[in-house]
A and B are shown apart, each in its own frame.
Chain A
Amino acid sequence: MNVIKVNNITKHYLLGSQKVEALRGVTFGIRQGEFIAIMGPSGSGKSTLMNIIGCLDSPTNGTYHLNNKEVSTLEGDELAGIRNREIGFVFQNFHLLARNSALDNVMLPLKYAGFNRDDQLKKARETLSKVGLESRMNHQPSELSGGQQQRVAIARALVNNPSILFADEPTGNLDSQTGHDVMQLFHNLHQQGQTIILITHENEIAAEAQRVIYIKDGLIESDIKKDKV
């Protein structure tokens, strides 16, 4: 069963009078439990694609079904609800709230989901333990290493049990050892059945995924499925 089905998606930006075609017709499906890497040169449209399938943005043309529900026509708060329930984001530069503890950062999606405080605390603690940070829950981001910060961000992405975990260059700001640890975490999550879409420049990282989609100039150049690693 496909979690994601995108059909001939395009995305145009207008920069003054100039039209930028960031995506020029992209079609693919992603099944439940897949671990996918999206690769491509800078400016090829990877982040644009992630924004659309992450429901941060709507395509200019084409359709997008998430869990068999058409979402390409939705707007504003409807998309906010879907992002909250179905999607977890991990960013290259972590995007943690600097003045909040790890625990508070992880609780944030649950606040917007409307859980009561006890449930928020319980789920956030569980998830932080899952990423190996049970002893760092009350630390502020500035008191954590880069790898730990990224794990807080991963816990935040996972805390509301999303259908898909998106990661845009999650290891881009980390040294290779820490990056490796974070990748190990992704593998574990994948093992537990989590659908993961990972955007990366690095072949090594991409090599760890089951399937690699290459994008160039807003089009899919290749879509290669590998046998289990």
Chain B
Amino acid sequence: MILDESITTALDSIKANLLRSLLTTIAIVIGTASVIAMVGIGSSAQRAIDDSITNVSARTLSVYPSRGRGSQKINSTPLTISDADALIEDNEINWRVSPEIRSSKSLKYGNESITISVIGGRKTYFDVQGYEIETGNFFTERDDLARKRVAVLGSNVGTELKTSSKMLIGKEVDMGGVTFKIIGALKPEGATGWSNPDDIIYVPLLTASDRLFGRDRVDSIRVEVPNTYTPEEAMISIERVLRREHDIGPGEENNFRINDWSQFTDLRKQATAIFSGLLIGIAGISLMVGGIGVMNIMLVSVTERTREIGLRKALGATQNAILLQFIIEAVTLCIIGGIIGVIFGSSLYFLVTVFQDWVFTIPFSAIIGSVIFSGCVGLFFGIWPAKKAAALDPAVALRFE
């Protein structure tokens, strides 16, 4: 009975000073809005990262030659096809190894001539990259060993030669003075980062090395590691093989680099963590400021309503009844702020999901949790003013002007 009286009284007094009450709760609103936006954005970002990791069925590491520094540049040891073969022969981990040799060449067909990126690789190159054929065929391992002059086109190359990739199948083109037969064209893949696989022409590794570029130095070796191994385990194995191949003595530095692509996702995770931390900070400070604001407004309210408190006491209100009334007022104020904050926070989060093309999921527990937490802020900061009210001497309070 006293409880429902306290709640109606609290709502009445909030309504009576609506503008003041709303202004008081702004910091609480910001606090809870940040919490909700943070939880939502955090979980969506996490989900996006998880998806991108599971999309790549296995983890891919890339090995590059060290970029020698200064005078060391001349001495820097290249990565070669035999390094790649050594990795293939090592059977500790059943990884897939895809060496890549890359350069630019002029490409002529009929009267058209363009400059194009050429990648030499094995059949595994397409598997590791996940490229699919649209028309014709990939080259095979036998094409590679026989150093056959065959090529597979990226999906744009045909149009760049003023024809279509389909039309070029079976035709011969001139690349750097060497004649190649086109045997296949890829499906469009879309640009990833700085290179566009659709603008590239692909030839067998040994053909590229012996007939086109005249070098057995490769630009990178991709190693696709099955899910049963961590990238760290794979790195240790790669290091072991390549250090042996390169005759690197104990204590000497590697003359190659291994990039773990999952580092990028780690980086993104880190960025998300920093972002969350920032929002937690904002939320914490806002709730703190909000709490102090509520305490201030409650002290004002207690002073303004001294005579009312005196009257209630004259009518028989116990100290606890008064205490409860003012605590409930503070808690209600903060919960209202919390609810408004949840609405603002979810809207903000919703906008972000629209722009980032993420899934919108706010855990119900986060909503309930942040509303309850703002209630607790009200409780914590409302206790002192409420105690002041409860301790008022009724005779003095009634005389108060």
B292 within 8 Å of A (CB atoms): no
A48 to chain B, nearest CB (A): 8
> Bound state CA distance, A91 and B12, in angstroms?
24
Q: Does A12 contact B (CB under 8 A)?
A: no
| Closest chain A CB from B5 CB (angstroms) | 5
A95 at the interface (CB under 8 A from B): yes
Whether the Cβ atoms of B1 and A56 lie closer than 8 Å is: no
Tell me which residues across on chain B come within 8 A of A117, comparing CB atoms.
1
B residues in contact with A160, CB < 8 Å: 316
Q: Kindly list chain B residues whose C-beta atoms are within 8 Å of the C-beta of A99.
A: 12-13, 16
Q: Does the CB pair A109–B316 fall under 8 Å? A: yes
Minimum Cβ distance to chain B for residue A51 (Å): 4
Q: Chain A nearest CB: distance from B266 CB in Å?
A: 59
Which residues in B have their C-beta under 8 angstroms from that of A54? Answer: 314
Given the known inter-chain contacts A51-B395, A115-B1, please indicate yes or no for A83 contacting B314, CB distance below 8 A.
Answer: yes
Known: A77-B319, A99-B12, A113-B316. A57 touches B1 (CB 8 A): no
Q: Mark B304-317, 1 if CB is under 8 A from A, else 0.
A: 00011001111111
1/0 per position for A143-160, CB-CB distance to B under 8 A? 000000000000010001
Provide the main secondary structure of the chain A interface: helix
Is B398 within 8 A of A91, CB to CB? yes
Residue of B whose beta carbon sits closest to that of A85: B316
Please judge, given known A-B contacts A114-B1, A116-B1, whether A95 and B318 are in contact too, CB under 8 Å: no
The one of B16, B314, B317, B320 that contacts A56, using a Cβ cutoff of 8 Å: B314
Q: Is B114 an interface residue (CB 8 A)?
A: no
Q: Which of B13, B316, B393 contacts A81 (CB 8 A)?
A: B316
Which partner residue on chain B sits nearest A116 by CB separation?
A: B1
B2 in contact (CB, < 8 A): yes
Q: How far is B398's CA from A117's CA once the two chains are assembled, in angstroms?
A: 27
Q: Does A84 contact B (CB under 8 A)?
A: yes
Q: Which of A51, A77, A89, A111 contacts B1 (CB 8 A)?
A: A111
The answer to whether A97 touches B319, judged by C-beta atoms less than 8 angstroms apart, is: no
Determine the distance from Cα of A112 to Cα of B318 in the docked complex, in whole angstroms. 8
Decide if B316 touches A84 in the complex (CB within 8 Å): yes
A83 touches B395 (CB 8 A): no
A83-B315, A99-B16 are contacts. A56–B395 as well, Cβ < 8 Å?
yes
A108 adjacent to chain B (CB < 8 Å): yes
Interface presence of B394 (CB below 8 A) = yes
Q: Is the CB of A56 within 8 A of B312?
A: no
In the complex, A77 Cα to B317 Cα: how many Å? Answer: 8
Residues of B within 8 A of A207 (CB): none
* Contact residues of B between 363 and 399, Cβ < 8 Å to A: 393-395, 398
Once A77-B318, A80-B318 are accepted as A-B contacts, the answer to whether A108 and B1 lie under 8 Å apart by CB is no
How far, in angstroms, from A120 to B1 measured CA to CA in the complex?
Answer: 10
Instruction: Tell me whether B321 is interfacial, beta carbon within 8 Å.
Output: yes
Q: Determine which residue in B16, B308, B394 has the highest number of CB atoms from chain A within 10 A of its CB, and name it.
A: B394
Write the A68-104 contact mask toward B (1 if CB under 8 angstroms, else 0): 0000000011001101110001010001010110000
Per the 8 Å Cβ criterion, residues 297-343 of B in contact with A are 307-308, 311-321
With A56-B398, A111-B1 known to touch, is A95 a contact of B316 (CB < 8 Å)? Answer: no
A80 touches B313 (CB 8 A): yes
Residues of chain A contacted by B16 (CB below 8 angstroms): 99
Minimal beta-carbon separation of A227 from chain B (angstroms): 34
**Nearest Cβ distance between residue B118 and chain A, in whole angstroms?**
84
Does the CB pair A84–B315 fall under 8 Å?
yes
A56 CA / B397 CA spacing, docked (Å): 10
Q: How far is the CA of A57 from the CA of B313 in the complex (A)?
A: 11
Provide the residues of chain B in CB contact with A156, threshold 8 Å: 315
- Which of A81, A89, A114 is the one whose CB lies under 8 Å from B314? A89
Q: How far is the CA of A89 from the CA of B313 in the complex (A)?
A: 11
Cα–Cα, bound, A190→B50 (Å): 83
Q: How far is the CA of A84 from the CA of B12 in the complex (A)?
A: 24
The residue in chain A whose Cβ has the minimal distance to the Cβ of B2 is A111
Nearest opposing residue in chain A for B321, CB measure = A112
On whether the beta carbons of B317 and A80 are closer than 8 Å, the reply is yes
Q: Which residues of A contact B311 (CB under 8 A)?
A: 95, 97
**Bound Cα distance from A54 to B313, whole angstroms:** 12
Interface flags for A51-71 (1: CB within 8 Å of B; 0: not) read 100101100000000000000
A114 to B3, CA, bound (A): 11
Nearest Cβ distance between residue A129 and chain B, in whole angstroms? 20
Question: Which A residues are CB-close (under 8 A) to B12?
Answer: 99-100
Pairwise interchain contact B398-A111, C-beta atoms closer than 8 A: no
27 examples of A-B residue contacts, CB within 8 angstroms: A54-B314, A56-B314, A56-B394, A56-B398, A57-B394, A57-B395, A76-B319, A77-B319, A81-B316, A81-B318, A83-B313, A83-B316, A85-B316, A89-B315, A95-B307, A97-B308, A99-B13, A108-B5, A108-B312, A108-B315, A109-B316, A111-B5, A112-B312, A114-B2, A117-B1, A156-B315, A160-B316
Q: Which 4 residue pairs of A and B lie closest in terms of their CB atoms, listed nearest first? A: A84-B316, A112-B316, A57-B395, A56-B395
Q: Assuming A83-B316, A97-B308, what are 4 further A-B pairs, CB within 8 angstroms?
A: A76-B318, A83-B315, A108-B5, A112-B321
* Contacts from A to B (Cβ < 8 Å): 51, 54, 56-57, 76-77, 80-81, 83-85, 89, 91, 95, 97, 99-100, 108-109, 111-117, 120, 156, 160
Q: Chain B residues in contact with chain A, CB under 8 A?
A: 1-2, 5, 12-13, 16, 307-308, 311-321, 393-395, 398
